[in-house]
Amino acid sequence: MRTTPDESANELLDVVPIVMRDIRSEMRSRRSHDLTVPQFRTLAFVNRNTGSSLLEVANFMGLTPPSASRLVDVLISRGFMTREEQATDRRRVKLTVTRRGLAVLKTCREGTLAHLSDKLSCLAPEDREGIVRAMQTLRSVFATDTHKRALLK
């Protein structure tokens, strides 16, 4: 029996949120306790989207631009991020994660990888290989879509 695209999509919609909830929970539990969850999420977003603007942070976090600015100001004052004004438009800033911020994210990522590895260790090797193949396939489908959307902007 062949799996239809609708059946595949249904499985994605059912399983991905469960996996992401576990990953988010683990990442947050490993964050530096001097960072709030919104600060940690902002740091992770800027790391994934180097050069992000305040507006992009605000949209991601569901905040107004002034609230996002205050959130970013705290991260900058504590040495987790930097802000660089654009030469052509001083209202637009480029945000970057510092070495200190990267160290926090690295610690969280390594701990979360260990957690996931432990969870997957009970699977048969061929099942783990199947997961890797499926993730590579999903990456090729969704990374291409993201790239196409970026080109259309």
In a domain, 152, yes or no: no
In a domain, 123, yes or no: yes
Rounded distance between C-alpha atoms, residue 120 and residue 39, angstroms: 30
* CATH code of the domain covering residue 62: 1.10.10.10
Lowest mean pLDDT among 28-42, 56-70, 99-113, 135-149: 135-149
Rounded distance between C-alpha atoms, residue 152 and residue 134, angstroms: 27
Rounded distance between C-alpha atoms, residue 137 and residue 131, angstroms: 10
Rounded distance between C-alpha atoms, residue 120 and residue 123, angstroms: 6
Task: Judge whether 55 and 65 are in contact, CB under 8 Å.
Answer: yes
In a domain, 76, yes or no: yes
pLDDT of 153: 47
The structure tokens 């979360």 sit at 112
pLDDT of 77: 96
**Alpha carbon 136 to chain centroid, angstroms:** 18
* pLDDT, mean over the chain: 88
Read off the pLDDT of each residue in 101-112 and give the average, rounded to a whole number.
92
Rounded distance between C-alpha atoms, residue 11 and residue 125, angstroms: 22
The residue segments making up the domain with residue 132 are 5-147
What's the number of domains the chain is made of? 1
